[in-house]
Amino acid sequence: MTDKNQRFENYDCSQGCPVEAALELIGGKWKGVILFHLMEGTQRFGELKKQVGTVTQRMLTKQLRELETDGLVSRKVFAVVPPHVEYSLTPKGETLRPIIMPCAIGAQNTP
Amino acid sequence: MTDKNQRFENYDCSQGCPVEAALELIGGKWKGVILFHLMEGTQRFGELKKQVGTVTQRMLTKQLRELETDGLVSRKVFAVVPPHVEYSLTPKGETLRPIIMPCAIGAQNTP
DNA sequence: CAGTATCCCCCTAGATACTG
DNA sequence: CAGTATCTAGGGGGATACTG
């Protein structure tokens, strides 16, 4: 980000604008949906997979790792057998709620 | 959309959830940025290209056509030489303002 | 000015199999 | 259960050249 207090009007996006930055965080094919479901509360890997639907294990893992790296999702591993892993939103991830939820509402209101 | 009045909590995304639908509209690599700039007002093709920055003509055209098809952007052609084409948000496109702008803000507040 | 028309690379994402 | 490993195709997107 070049200037954090810059106004949006006449914003020069030539090399990286805020929207571009945001889409890098949630632009992955499944990330929006994953975040959406984590907003319902903490979820285990399997639960998440079931809810997201057609996502493959590989992709779910990959996107979750990226979300984790970006600090939007936290991963909690329980050292038990069988494995137990819980995913939840970080505070930073929570800040996306006003973005994700209007997305959902917007999509519903304009079919 | 399966049920337009369904609550978001416990929403079953198995085959297409609202967030997924929304991301299909604005998920293109440049669409968010294009919409962002059109929110500043009507723009000509060249102006848009300059503002979006590194986008190629081909991609800008392609994404604009998709946005047009999805009913988010309207294209107005003036029958003059040299050509003059103006792009602007449709009412439907305007409904994305509360989604796009928080994106920008969110990206700025959480670097 | 505002586009098409080609060509082509690469990365995303899917399918499948295996494992601590 | 919650992952890795490997292989592969498909198409999204880039570069470049041409045009009404």
In this predicted model, what pLDDT tens digit does every residue of A79-99 receive, in sequence order?
999 999 999 999 999 988 888
Gap between the Cα atoms of B12 and A80, Å rounded: 29
Give contacts of B8 with chain A, Cβ < 8 Å. Answer: 36, 40, 101, 104
How far in angstroms lies nucleotide C18's C1' from the CA of residue A81?
19
Which letter, b or e, does each residue of B50-68 get, where b requires 16 or more Cβ atoms within 10 Å of its Cβ? ebbeebeeeebeebbebbe
What chain B residue is nearest to A39 in terms of C-alpha separation?
B9
Of A63-72, B4-13, B32-41, minimum mean pLDDT range: B4-13
Q: Is A105 exposed, middle or buried (0-12, 13-18, 19+ CB in 10 A)?
A: middle
Gap between the Cα atoms of A61 and A64, Å rounded: 5
Choice between B110 and A62, residue whose per-residue pLDDT is larger: A62
Choice between A19 and B78, residue whose per-residue pLDDT is larger: B78
Please give the model's pTM, rounded to 2 decimal places.
0.82
Residues with CB under 7 A from strand D: A 44-47, 57-58, 61, 64-65, 75, 82-85; B 28-29, 54-59, 63, 82-83
Question: Residue B9 — φ and ψ, nearest 5°?
Answer: -60, 135
Per-residue pLDDT band for B12 (boundaries 50, 70, 90) equals low
Per-residue pLDDT band for A74 (boundaries 50, 70, 90) equals very high
What is the residue-wise DSSP string for B28-51? Answer: STTHHHHHHHHTT--EEHHHHHHH
Residues with CB under 7 A from strand C: A 28-29, 54-59, 63, 82-83; B 44-47, 57-58, 61, 64-65, 75, 77, 82-85
Residue B48 has pLDDT above 90, yes or no: yes
